[in-house]
Amino acid sequence: MAPEVASSWRPLRRTFAPYAAMLIILSGVSLFGAYVANEKHDWNLLKAIPFLWVLYSPLVYIGTRYRILWRDDQIRQIAPGKPDVMLSMKEIAVISLEVAVTSGRPFRRIALYSRHSKRGNFRWCMSDEIVRKRRRRAVSRDTPSNSWLDRELADCEFRDGRLGKRFGSLVEQLSSSPGDSIPLACQDWANTKAAYRFLDNDRVSEAEILAGHFRAMRDRAAVADGPILVLHDTTEFTYKRDDIEAIGKTTLGVAGVDRDGRPRLYTACGILMHSSLAVTTDGLPLGLTAIKFWSREKFKGSNALKKRINPTRVPIEEKESIRWLDNLRQSTRLLERPELCVHIGDRESDIYELFCAAKDIGTHFLPRTCVDRLAGDGSHTIAAEMAETRCKGLHRVEVRDRHGEVAYATLELKFRRIKVLPPIGKQSRYPSLDLTILHATERGKPRGRDRIDWKLLTDLPVTSRLEAIEKLNWYAQRWKIETYHKVLKSGCRADRSKLRNAERIVNLLAIYCILGWRIFWMTMLNRCTRDLNPTLAFTPLEVDLLNRLIPEALDGKSHRRPSLNSSLTQLARLGGYLNRAGDAPAGNTVIWRGLSRLTDIEIGYLLGKPDTQ
């Protein structure tokens, strides 16, 4: 071994000490046995002492004969006149366990192994068959570095470095098989138990799990062109548990009636999640900007208060709606460019306090309204002013009915700048706002679907038909967050977890949020980008495997480099996408199926390589 290499290695601590201790113990046992035999005149006790020396002498010889050196990632065994053997730390761990078990574990650790055992040279050797089995078990851990995973987790900061390492390995295991249970993803009891302990650790929270993803999203948003649309929505994850209190309650539903005609009430067990997803104006998801988990039992007081007074008089701090304001502030603070953020929500986000909070921090909003608010001098409402506004133009859009048939709808566009007043009970706390009201109403009554009737509200100026169509297209991106929630439930199967308390489930949901974003991101990359490098989403090995499995039709261009779109299409074909001329772009379902199959194929490829045989 070269001097510069040898100088970077350190002797393995306590390598010789166990053997020296064993010699001392054997000597002490022998002397004590001789003393007892002499006192009791029973010399049969001394028969066991030679047996102990015969049993442990080979192990003592090994410990004193060989010198083991180590480094963090590799271990080198050096013996006089013998070739050096390089082993990874993972191989050393499993081999040491095998040797310790077979030898009765008389010492702390032994790490001796050689594939080049020669006749006449005494070594503790393991058969090649055992070594191959251990290597196959560790193939998934020894795969090449996953670039997307490195980017997403680079800035995660846990209070204990070991938690960060376990988090990285857990995310990698779960990402290799989207939708599978933790035992199936982890493959063995040791990793499964470590995953459960990580999720149950008091020093782990959803904020620490998502910290790296938030910062990676901020970096992607910093290089994006144009406005950033921040989509807000709430969803719930329902679980079947005997102990509902351990997880929490979501809703109180009615399941039919009893014999007397009284409604049968049931309590749904689960967790609610309010998430904020940043997307470009083309619909490419950049990542989550804020997230909040809670259960309904925390807001019992406000529900009782609503029965006695007008809900608009209930302070926003005492209502669940405060989540909209919290996520708006957190998202704007994270993106660091409030003037380029446009916060979009459904009719549930029609909250006057939200509009005032957005104005205070200098950001923009575009929700769909559900309340006919007071306008002007307070003697009329927004609907009365919009009824007097003439149509400013038409817009033709493509829609689908309940059976998936394509149709076209013609929308009448109305927009007007109006002074909007706060609710009567809050006019002393909040000022009036000058906002733009935008209505898009479909002409006629369609068949097989609901009529389009969008009533939007924004602080952005709308002065022309093109600007009105732009705002409609921005609001149409709101459905992206619904699709993202579908990926979490159908792809990652986040609502099928068997964990027993809310803390563990919330930590697991936070991990699934990262994995669900990746699936959705890869799906939209195929639709929103062109001619990018495939290593943006895949490792070089994955790109090579996809090209081998599903060669792309090159049409005479034999030296064309593979693109990101072609690799994503190949991945979707692994998941069942047919890629016919009239087919729509690949969806999330075939993407997550393809990712699972690609992982299995990659493991098989690594097992078949010569250096793992």
- Residue 73 belongs to domain spanning: 3-137
CA-to-CA distance for 65 and 69, rounded, in angstroms?
A: 13
Q: How many domains does the chain have?
A: 4
With respect to residue 406, please indicate whether it lies within any of the assigned structural domains: yes
Which tops the pLDDT comparison, 106 or 588?
Answer: 588
- Residue 250 and residue 377 in one domain: no
> Where residue 371 sits, what CATH number does that domain have?
3.90.350.10
Question: Which long-range contacts (C-beta less than 8 Å, at least 24 apart) are formed by 596-601?
Answer: 596/176, 596/177, 596/178, 596/179, 596/180, 598/542, 598/545, 598/546, 598/571, 598/574, 599/176, 599/177, 601/545, 601/549, 601/574
CA-to-CA distance for 131 and 95, rounded, in angstroms?
A: 8
Cβ proximity of 603 and 547 under 8 Å: no
- Residue 451 and residue 489 in one domain: no
Q: Phi first, then psi: what are they for 221, rounded to 5°? A: -70, -30
Residues contacting residue 512 through CB under 8 Å, at least 6 positions apart = 174, 488, 492, 494
Pairing outcome for strands 10-11 and 67-70? antiparallel
CA-to-CA distance for 575 and 198, rounded, in angstroms?
A: 31
Nearest to residue 291, comparing CAs of 324, 345, 327?
327
Q: What is the pLDDT of residue 510?
A: 96
Q: Is the Cα dihedral 593, 595, 596, 600 positive or negative?
A: positive
- Residue 156 and residue 300 in one domain: yes
CA-to-CA distance for 388 and 380, rounded, in angstroms?
A: 12
Helix axes of 502-528 and 206-222: crossing angle, nearest 10 degrees:
20
Of 113, 137, 161, the position where a domain reaches its end is 137
Tell me the pTM.
Answer: 0.74
- Residue 125 and residue 154 in one domain: no
Helix axes of 161-175 and 189-199: crossing angle, nearest 10 degrees:
120
> Where residue 576 sits, what CATH number does that domain have?
1.10.740.10
- Residue 121 and residue 155 in one domain: no
With respect to residue 511, please indicate whether it lies within any of the assigned structural domains: no
Q: What is the pLDDT of residue 559?
A: 52
With respect to residue 545, please indicate whether it lies within any of the assigned structural domains: yes
Bridge partners (DSSP) listed for residue 341? 228
With respect to residue 515, please indicate whether it lies within any of the assigned structural domains: no
With respect to residue 510, please indicate whether it lies within any of the assigned structural domains: no
Over 70: is that where the pLDDT of 306 sits? no
Average pLDDT (489-493) is: 92
CA distances from 155 to 149, 163, 567 (A): 11, 13, 28
- Residue 483 and residue 410 in one domain: no
Over 60: is that where the pLDDT of 496 sits? yes
- Residue 246 and residue 112 in one domain: no
- Residue 148 and residue 287 in one domain: yes
SS3 (DSSP) at 249: strand
- Residue 36 and residue 78 in one domain: yes
Average pLDDT (244-251) is: 84
Q: Which tens digit of pLDDT belongs to each residue from 14-36?
A: 345 566 677 777 788 788 878 87
Residue with tokens 């993106």: 335
Average pLDDT (90-116) is: 42
Of 137, 172, 188, the position where a domain reaches its end is 137
Of 460, 475, 490, the position where a domain reaches its end is 475
Q: What is the pLDDT of residue 1?
A: 35
Helix axes of 161-175 and 502-528: crossing angle, nearest 10 degrees:
60
Q: What is the pLDDT of residue 81?
A: 40
Q: Which tens digit of pLDDT belongs to each residue from 337-386?
A: 999 999 999 999 999 999 999 999 999 999 999 999 999 999 999 999 99
What is the helix, strand, coil percentage profile of the chain, to 5? 50, 20, 35
Q: pLDDT tier at 128 (50, 70, 90 boundaries)?
A: very low
Which tops the pLDDT comparison, 553 or 7?
Answer: 553
With respect to residue 201, please indicate whether it lies within any of the assigned structural domains: yes
Token duo for residue 67: 């010198």
- Residue 451 and residue 547 in one domain: no
CA distances from 442 to 114, 453, 498 (A): 78, 6, 46
Q: Which tens digit of pLDDT belongs to each residue from 397-410?
A: 988 887 778 889 99
Rg (CA), the chain: 33
With respect to residue 221, please indicate whether it lies within any of the assigned structural domains: yes
Which tops the pLDDT comparison, 284 or 72?
Answer: 284
- Residue 194 and residue 177 in one domain: yes
Of 59-68, 524-533, 587-596, the one with minimum mean pLDDT is 59-68
Q: What is the pLDDT of residue 76?
A: 42
Cβ proximity of 441 and 455 under 8 Å: no
Question: Which long-range contacts (C-beta less than 8 Å, at least 24 apart) are formed by 9-13?
Answer: 9/69, 9/70, 9/71, 9/76, 10/69, 10/70, 10/71, 11/67, 11/68, 11/69, 11/70, 12/68, 12/69, 12/70, 12/75, 12/111
Q: What is the pLDDT of residue 611?
A: 58
Q: What is the mean pLDDT of the chain?
A: 80
The DSSP letter of residue 487 is I
- Residue 107 and residue 175 in one domain: no
With respect to residue 351, please indicate whether it lies within any of the assigned structural domains: yes
